[in-house]
Structure 1
Amino acid sequence: MINPQFGVSTWLWTSPFTTETAFELFPRIKNMGYDLVEIPVEYPEQIDARQVKKALDDYELKAVVCGAFGPSRDFTHTDTKVQQNCHQYILECFKLCQHWETKFLAGPMYAAVGNARMLSPEERKVEWDRAVHNLRVVCEHAAAEGLSIALEPLNRFESDMVNTVEDVEKLIQDINHPAAKIMVDVFHMNIEEPDLAKAIEQAGNKLIHVQIADNYRGTPGTGSVRWDVLSKALAANKYEGAISIESFTPDIKELAEAVCIWRHLVPDQDAFASDGLAFMKKTFNY
């Protein structure tokens, strides 16, 4: 039997993550019974890695590090300064991975989130090639530090480049580096994948992280996602990584606007996390 570890993103409550966030949220996350916390890094300069590591140790939590990729961090941009800024940001995230003993950086780091345009095949190839080139360099840096990257497909409203596991498989094939791996987010999969089980099967042993929320980004188990199909697929894939809730609150205006959440999905975010964990423990026991 495989017993996956269960996590939750601090984005469920707040943004951006800072050193103070760790001491505010980690005790609550631990008391709920979580194994790990997913830390989205928006501004590395606001995070004291050593203090956060102390909080992780104090509350016996492991960490997953997720990148945040906006317009100033875009490997497909025509301006090489923007591309270089993305490289520098990822290197800062790698430092946090090392401090927190995390083996990979996760996220849609191929391009800026929100790039959703009708490009010509020629324009699309230029951007694809830029992403491939830059990500190969990132993989070389990652491998030198014993790390991997977990590339995340996004739904069509958030990315015009990588929407499905098939897309990310092609990207990894073109990058052609063993440090390039896959993460999936069930919210995006539920929009883009015709068959959840086939997508998990296609990801195979490259799959190293799974994020979940229900079809409307709500508490897992309260919507229309076929959780039975997903659980069986992960079991068949012998998936041993973490399963982590990612959702948001409209109380954080900038982030809510970016992900188009205009209403509270639940009355209480702590209840979202607690109920979601209970559902995960019941569902992903394979």
Structure 2
Amino acid sequence: EQTNPKPNNVASPSRQEDVYAYYCRMVDIAKEVNAQHILVTTGWAYYDESKEDAWNRSVKMMRKVCDYAKANDILVAIEALQPNESVLANSVEQLKAYLDAVNHPQLKVCIDFGAMARVNNTIQDYFDAFGKDVIHTHFVDGKPTGHLAWSDGTRDLKQDLLDLEANGYDGYLSLESVNSRYYEKPWTAEEKTLSAFDMLEKQ
């Protein structure tokens, strides 16, 4: 519950104690179920304020979250957002600047294929910038965005897998198929993706 307009905005100018408590609960749950990391975003700026103000609040809160995560041996994976979701970090370059500002060893990176494609970044761009700090992937198809099931978009499944493998990626491939076309029958997204993997394996 952290993506615009959900309430738990890391960059929020208000409710900071509640927001911090929410992320601490995320860490607690991750520890309880033996997960290795949680997923976060930078949060977002309000329309009537400067980006810098929201950026500074986000960086400050993220340091606190990372401190709590470190104390519990949980990593924090952050993804870039698309420009309509937030103006704080949309590209590899902006995400790198954000990680540099937070400056915390617990903060790692999630590649979101939708956000990546929206700004014309590539898988290689992410690994060139972050290397082994890429620990999670929202592995979805798109046209070029859309968080689609594989075969519903225009991405090259085989090449994407090869690019991840070439960079030594051994994390999960998270199927974030969040698109209204799947709302009525959400299982069809997984069926299409599994079918695409099966077809690739038979080639």
Q: 1:98 maps to which residue?
A: 31
Q: 1:155 maps to which residue?
A: 82
| Residues in 1 aligned to 2:199 and 2:48: alpha-carbon distance in whole angstroms | 42
Q: State the identity as a percent.
A: 20
Q: 1:167 maps to which residue?
A: 94
Helix, strand or coil for the counterpart of 2:165? helix
1:248 corresponds to which of 162, 178, 189: 178
Higher RCO, 1 or 2 (CA under 8 Å, sep at least 6)? 1
Whether the 8 Å contact between 2:3 and 2:85 is mirrored in structure 1 is no
Q: 1:111 maps to which residue?
A: 43
| Residues in 2 aligned to 1:182 and 1:90: alpha-carbon distance in whole angstroms | 17
1:208 corresponds to which of 114, 118, 135: 135
1:270 positional shift? 2.0
Whether the 8 Å contact between 1:228 and 1:283 is mirrored in structure 2 is yes
Q: 2:163 maps to which residue?
A: 233
Counterparts in 2 of 1:143 and 1:194: CA distance versus 1, 3 Å: closer
Whether the 8 Å contact between 2:139 and 2:174 is mirrored in structure 1 is yes
Cα distance per residue 1:31-58 (max 9 Å; x no partner): xxxxxxxxxxx4xxxxxxxxxxxxxxxx
Helix, strand or coil for the counterpart of 1:161? coil
- Normalised to the residue count of structure 1, the TM-score between the two structures is 0.62
Q: Which runs of 5+ in 2 are unaligned?
A: none
Amino acid of the residue matched to residue 196 of structure 2?
Answer: F
Counterparts in 2 of 1:100 and 1:70: CA distance versus 1, 3 Å: farther
- How many residues get paired? 198
Q: 1:217 maps to which residue?
A: 147
Q: Which runs of 5+ in 1 are unaligned?
A: 1-41, 43-66, 250-260
Q: 2:8 maps to which residue?
A: 73
Helix, strand or coil for the counterpart of 1:156? coil
Whether the 8 Å contact between 1:182 and 1:208 is mirrored in structure 2 is yes
Cα distance per residue 1:123-145 (max 9 Å; x no partner): 22222111111111111111010
| Residues in 2 aligned to 1:202 and 1:275: alpha-carbon distance in whole angstroms | 32
- Normalised to the residue count of structure 2, the TM-score between the two structures is 0.85
Greater Cα offset, 234-243 or 123-132: 123-132
1:183 positional shift? 0.5
Whether the 8 Å contact between 1:201 and 1:237 is mirrored in structure 2 is no
